[in-house]
Structure 1
Amino acid sequence: MKLRFVYLTIFLGLIYSILTFLSAETITINDIATVIMVSGSVIFVGYVLDSKADHNKNKNT
């Protein structure tokens, strides 16, 4: 379950960074920080949702 979030995050990060690099001729530190923040927040949300799902699954058994 956790690997799915990792792959999804990497995929979204790649798409976002490619779009950012295509839309801007010069890459600023702001662009890099935005990519890091977006992928970090996706990882965090995915981890929280995954831990809740694991907790519910363990509680039921």
Structure 2
Amino acid sequence: MDVAEYTPQELARLQLGFIIREQPQQNADHSGTHASSRKRELQRGQQKARQEMLDDLGVEA
């Protein structure tokens, strides 16, 4: 699938997922409260995005 075929929302979700997967490596050397709260914030954002996507599709989660 070509990147151009993705909607901006889909791209944002893919990037969010990528950021969350990358997070543990980045935090390994300097794990502080700021980093962990940022990670939680990103995970909440991803859950919210997933819920919105399901709502848009009319799926009950």
TM-score (norm 2): 0.53
- What root-mean-square deviation, in Å, do the aligned CA atoms of Structure 1 and Structure 2 show? 2.4
1: CA distance, partners of 2:43 / 2:31: 17
Is the helix fraction higher in 1 or 2? 1
Identity, in percent, stands at 0
Q: Which runs of 5+ in 1 are unaligned?
A: 1-10, 56-61
Unaligned runs of 5+ in 2: 1-16
TM-score computed with the length of structure 1 as normaliser: 0.53
Superposed, which structure 2 residues align to 1:1-61 within 5 Å? 12=18, 13=20, 15-22=21-28, 25-54=29-58
Structure showing greater radius of gyration is 1
Aligned residues: 43
